[in-house]
Amino acid sequence: MTNFEFLQAEHIKLLQNHADLQKRYDILAAAIGFNDISVGDASKLSFMQKLVTKITEIYDNDLYSDITIHCDGHQFRGHRLVIATRTDYWDDLSGLDRIEFKDITYNIGCAVLKWMYTDHVDGLLGSRCLMEIFIAAVKYRFLDLQIRCELLLLDRIDCDSCLMLYEFATKNGLVQLKGNCEKMVKTKWNEFSVDDFTNVSASLLYNLIKSYSKHVLHSIIRLKRSDILLLFFIEHFQELPKLCNEEVSGTFPLELALESDQIEIATSLVNHHADVNVIDNNGKTLLMRMLVKNKVNALVFLIQNGANFDQKVGITGENLLHIAASTKCSYELIEWLSSNLNHFDINDVDCDLKTPFIRAVDSENIEIIELLLQKSTVDINKMDRKGCSPVSSALFKIKNMALAELIAKAGANLNVLYKGVFMIHHAVYTNNLDAVQFLCRHKVDVNKRTAEGMLPLQIVTDSENINLDLIRILVRSGANISLKISDSHETLLHHIIGSENDSEILEVCIENNSCNDDIFTIVDTNGHTPIAKAVFNGKFQSAELLIKAGADVNEKDPEGVSLLMRIINSKLDDAAVFLLDHDCFSLAIEFSLLKTVRRLCAFAKESEKYINASLLWEALQQGSFEIAKILTESGCDLNGCFYNENQKCRQTLLHKAIGLKLHDAAIFLIDAGCDIDASEQWQINGEQPGRDTPLFACIRSDFNDVALYLIKRGARLDRKDAEGRSAVHLSVYKKNTAILIELLNNCNSGLLLDTDCSGNTPLDVAIKTRNYLAAETLIKKAPNLITQVDENGEMLLHKTVRAVDLESVLFLISTNFDVNACAVNESCVTALHLSAQYGSEIIMRNLILAGANVNATSTDGFTPLHVAAYNNYEALCMILLENGAQPNAPDAFGNTPLHRAVSGGSVACVNVLIGDSRINLRAMNKKQQNALFLTTGDLSRTNSLDILQMFLNADPQFPLDEKDVDGFTVFLLSYLKGNENMCHALLRCGVCLGTVSQSGISVFKHVTPTKQLLFSLLDKLEREPCWADGHSCSECEMKFSLTMRKHHCRHCGRLVCARCSEQEVPILKYGIEKPARDSHSSGGRPRLMSRFLTQAELQEVFMLSEYTTRSLDLTLKEREFLNKASKVSSIIDQIIQAARPT
């Protein structure tokens, strides 16, 4: 227990003791008055004590009770003496035997009565209970009880209850209680919450706010009391323009209301001069402040009340969209901005020339960036005052590659300047590998120069810390080392050779194929080629790399002086030795010096020198095969690669020989043991490498002798080119029979099953190119080729039939192909099925002549006749029927070809099938539907009617009212599917209009947007329709029994009970002049007679002498009309008797 609670409990005890003392004092005062106590006073005191005790005992007791007290439905025993002693509310009780405490609950009534008899009020009662007791005491003038309640309430004042007690004290004039509450309110004012003031009256709370709050309007808004706001407006009417726009602690009244979603109060403020465009001390509008706080409802409110979209902050020049770009936006705020984006100038700039898009990029605000990119007018290349574009900011300032990727995909210019240079140069200067990769991936020109003429690769090579990864990326992205650097005639390659890390850089360049043959002939201002510069400068490691890349060490200057001679003239001893190690071979080969070559080869072998493949190629070109043999025996590289400028690829010596059709050279290389399965290297600028082996190259160029020799020497026949084709594929495609035969003689049959990228085997290629000689050769090699299936599970015959390729079909038939083979897939169709689907008569006839089964079935049970009938191929149906096709064969669903023809609307095929003598028109499928059921969904004007007529012509007794497994008839299904023409035609044929399905569906109970079709059918009935049959009423669905008889509507024929057919009218269009049962009024709804009788027919009815009105459910106008026409009432019984159904 806290100190406060302890003190409160002690105070309650003191109050109780005080009440007891007061009671004793009152007893004494009553006994002796105010005179001095004498000897006889003791008896008086004893009498008063006994009297008080007795009164306490008779509380709610029958003893001495002379009146009843009623309260809240309860009854108490009362005593007039006690009541009169406590209050004068009832002037004269002598004439009353009951009184009532009105508007007092039972609990309060008990407390009041208990006090009346015992002078005791429970100190543990709650504050609200005491207030109710006080109100009752005031109403019934219990003055002592009022004082007692106030004393108890004084003890209940705390932070939670003081506002309630203050309001109660003010309302009831309790000065002491009010004063104590005021002190508590003043002390705890800042601790109260909004909920504490919810139930305080407006006027009282307004006075409190004025007393204890410095800023009245802000306090009213915080308390969310619109009623108090009205009082404020009334009191300060003249000052509202100032007060409603006063900024307190950085907050405006309207802003405070909008922040707490008080739209009603915000509306009141706007209506009383609150400015929606008010500007704070920082120059920001309310719209901007609400946007920063993600208050979408506030934004909507401000815009609806005239807030200005275009307002700018005076100091920074930013608009609303700039602020949004720098704000973390919620999903709702993004949606609002999206819907209002047209109101903004999205390319407007602030004082730093930043657009909202730049601000969004600087803030990495992806949501706003994506929103702005939806507008085609956004300028994604605009630069700020510092020359920074959005993409450069993403790359270099915030280094967000994903964001840069998003901007680049939107079409950003990646060749803009950043800090005075292009972005690629800045990325290289700052050694920003990620940025360089990004720019290169987006095809930025890596050969662009700075204002000083510097190339990106040149910048890297000149830097102190060489980044080989950076160089590798630039080279792979197309950095051209053959470009000349500014103010010099030397190329970038020359420059690299002259740099400190020349060999490392050059190795990276050569690895990534940046060197072609032309680059080695470019000279600098000294007349030096790259190899010459490397040798003259003693860069022998670089020179070695250049030689391997294809540089010619035997080059000569324009005057015909070789490099070796120039080196000797320059007295460069080490350089001369280097060239001798690499140069003498070429001279010896050029002059066919056999012994010299042999000696040099021996020297190279002893010193473990590398013999370049270019020397071997030079010997082969000259036809010096003896020298070539010496070179190969000495370890010369037989598989060295050369760059082919025309084909843009690197080729081996064998490829090069085949390309130039050097027969002897190619044979020599094959015999010497070169790699006869090596592929050409097409990897140029990251493209897919080629896969042509020497054998492929020979077949493509019809170099048959070498091709045959390669096959003989064991060239791999399972290799494939870039299109996935094997050598067999290629020889078939090139129609090279000689090579094909040799390939077939040297390969296993499994190779013939390989497919290319298009999924074609060599046999497929032969058939498609109509190379039937090759196809026949392939089939003889591997007879099982013809039965292979593709990825769709179809064999070659299936594919040729599908393509309607007669010539290929005839070829395959001639190879004794099994024409009844099924596709290996879910359908399991035969070639005849496909022929029936694609409509070729000649192919079908040839397949049948070849033994195709006309009654073969697919997985779904379809025969070719099913397929042809559904696709409306009349001639194909005739061919199949002529050749023994079964017209009544059911599929997996029980549908015959006739069912399929009808469902496809194939009128011609229906005619052909019906004309066959074997046809069973009444055949049912698994739904117990004959073929005519399937016409119901055909909404065309003539098809369904033509088919109906064909059925009736072939079988006049065709059961049109036959029901399927669900109880539907052809007519009912036609109605449900909206086939109006079919419905009318069936009714003319006499079908039952009132048919009901097993689920209770009929034309009368089916829900449709309008009843137009039903009314049309009823209007056009020319004779009384067939009567429906069943076991229950079609309207109310009551079962028929001995007491519930069957009846039929004479107008539509449906089966109804007596209650649903109590209406009787004449139906003149059927020739029924006497009133007959009509069920076309249900649920008490008015029946429109004009739906069943024409105006002329009605006139005739009303002119009948024996006609009189019946108790029909008609409109007032109809009743008046019928009453005028009624003649005789005595005929009613006769009309009923005549109209009663049998």
Structure-token pair, residue 945: 């009617």
Give the whole-angstrom CA distance, residue 877 versus residue 871: 10
61: domain CATH number? 3.30.710.10
pLDDT of residue 1109: 40
Mean pLDDT (whole number) for 250-271: 81
Determine the pLDDT at residue 1135. 46
pLDDT(760) > 90: no
Least confident of 6-20, 671-685, 703-717: 6-20
User: In this structure, what is the dihedral angle of CA atoms 301, 302, 304, 310, given to the nearest 10 degrees?
Assistant: -150
Model pLDDT for residues 897-931, shown as the tens digit of each residue: 999 999 888 899 999 999 998 999 999 999 999 99
How does residue 894 score in pLDDT terms, banded at 50, 70 and 90? very high
Q: Are residues 43 and 181 in the same domain?
A: yes
Q: Which of the two residues, 434 and 1137, has the higher pLDDT score? A: 434
The chain-wide mean pLDDT, for the chain, equals: 77
Nearest to 216 by CA among 200, 196, 240: 240
Distance from CA of residue 425 to its chain's centroid?
42
Per-residue pLDDT, 1097: 42
pTM, 2 dp: 0.45
Structure confidence at residue 34 (pLDDT): 42
**Does the residue 279 lie in any domain?**
no
Tell me which of 366 and 749 has the higher pLDDT.
366
Q: Say if residue 895 is in the same domain as residue 1024.
A: no
Terminal-to-terminal C-alpha distance of the chain: 95
Phi, psi angle pair for 373, to nearest 5°: -70, -15
pLDDT at 465 over 90: no
Per-position DSSP letters for 582-609, written without gaps between them: HHHHHHHHHTT-HHHHHHHHHHHHHTT-
- Does pLDDT of 176 surpass 90? no
**Residue in the block written with tokens 């007692």:** 148
pLDDT of res. 1104: 44
Per-residue model confidence (pLDDT) at position 1105: 41
Amino acid letter, 449: R
Smallest CA-to-CA distance from 985 within 1012, 1011, 957, 947 is with: 947
The SS3 of residue 559 is coil
Q: Are residues 1026 and 891 in the same domain?
A: no
> Do residues 13 and 155 share a domain?
yes
Q: What pLDDT does residue 30 have?
A: 52
Domain end among 152, 178, 197: 197
Domain match, 908 and 1051 both: no
pLDDT of residue 863: 95
Same domain, yes or no: 896 and 1034: no
- At residue 585, the pLDDT reads 64
Check whether 966 has a pLDDT greater than 70: yes
849 pLDDT above the threshold of 70 = yes
Return the DSSP state at 650: E
* 76-108 tens-digit pLDDT: 888 888 888 888 888 888 878 888 888 888 888
Distance of CA 1108 to the CA centre of its chain: 69
Q: What is the pLDDT of residue 829?
A: 93
pLDDT of res. 890: 94
On whether both 887 and 1033 belong to a single domain, the answer is no
The lowest-confidence range among 34-43, 225-234, 321-330, 393-402 is 34-43
Mean pLDDT (whole number) for 383-409:
87
Give tens-digit pLDDT for 980-1016.
Answer: 888 888 888 888 877 888 787 887 766 665 576 676 6
The last residue of a domain, from among 156, 182, 197: 197
> Are the C-beta atoms of 628 and 670 separated by less than 8 Å?
no
**Domain contains 648:** no
Candidates 3, 46, 11; CA nearest to 27 is 46
Q: Is the pLDDT confidence value at 885 over 90?
A: yes
Q: Which two tokens stand for residue 341?
A: 């984006």
Tell me, yes or no, whether 906 and 796 share the same domain: yes
Q: Is pLDDT above 90 for 1047?
A: no
DSSP reduced 3-state for 700: helix
Instruction: Read off the amino acid at residue 44.
Output: K
Q: pLDDT tens digit string along 187-223?
A: 666 666 665 566 566 666 676 666 666 776 776 777 6
For the segment 809-826, what is each residue's pLDDT rounded down to a tens digit?
Answer: 998 888 888 899 999 888
Q: Are residues 1017 and 908 in the same domain?
A: no
The Cα–Cα gap between 824 and 858 comes to 11
Longest Cα–Cα distance in the chain? 171
Q: Per the domain annotation, does 745 fall within a domain?
A: no
Q: How confident is the model at residue 1108 (pLDDT cuts 50, 70, 90)?
A: very low
CATH number at residue 1059: 3.30.40.10
Tell me, what's the pLDDT at 193?
61
Strand ranges (DSSP E) for 857-992? none
Indicate the range of 585-599, 676-690, 819-833, 1005-1019 predicted with least confidence: 676-690
Higher pLDDT, 1073 or 473: 473
pLDDT at 4: 54
Structure tokens, 133: 């007791």
**What is the reported pLDDT for 204?**
62
- Read off the pLDDT band of 370 (50, 70, 90): confident
DSSP of 396-465: IIS--HHHHHHHHHTT--TT-EETTEEHHHHHHHTT-HHHHHHHHHTT--TT---TT---HHHHHHHSSS
Pairing of strands 67-71, 98-101: parallel
The better pLDDT of the pair 331, 584 is held by 331
Whether 84 is covered by a domain: the verdict is yes
Instruction: Decide if 105 is inside a domain.
Output: yes
Under 8 Å between Cβ of 986 and 970 = yes
C-alpha to C-alpha distance for 1 and 222, rounded to whole angstroms: 35
Mean pLDDT to the nearest integer, 175-186: 71
- Single out the residue in 146, 173, 197 at which a domain terminates: 197
Contact status, residue 231 vs residue 200, Cβ threshold 8 Å: no
pLDDT tens column, 507-556: 888 776 666 656 777 777 787 888 888 888 888 888 878 877 777 777 77
The reported pLDDT for the residue numbered 899 is 93
216 alpha carbon, distance to own chain's centre: 51
Query: For residue 128, is it within any domain?
Result: yes
The verdict on residue 508 lying in a domain is no
Per-residue model confidence (pLDDT) at position 1106: 39
**E strands of 732-889, at which residues?**
none
In this prediction, what percent of the chain has a pLDDT beyond 90? Answer: 9
Q: Is the pLDDT of residue 408 over 50?
A: yes
How many domains are contained in the chain? 3
pLDDT band at 757 (very low <50, low <70, confident <90, very high): confident
Q: Which domain holds residue 820?
A: 789-913
* CA angle 241–270–295, rounded 5-degree value: 125
Half-sphere exposure of 1052 (CA within 13 A, CB side): 25
Q: What number of residues does the chain have?
A: 1142
Region 55-70 average pLDDT: 82
Within 8 A by CB and 6+ apart from 402, the residues are none
Q: Which residue's structure tokens are 């299904």?
A: 973
Q: What pLDDT is stored for residue 196 in this prediction?
A: 58
What is the C-alpha separation between 513 and 644, in angstroms, rounded?
A: 12
pLDDT at 146 over 80: no
Distances (CA, A) of 66 to 60, 81, 96, 99, 998: 11, 9, 9, 11, 79
Q: What integer pLDDT is reported at residue 887 of this predicted model?
A: 94
Residue 1031 lies in a domain: yes
Q: Buried b / exposed e across 1049-1064, counting CB within 10 Å, b at 16+?
A: bbbbbbbbbeebbbbb
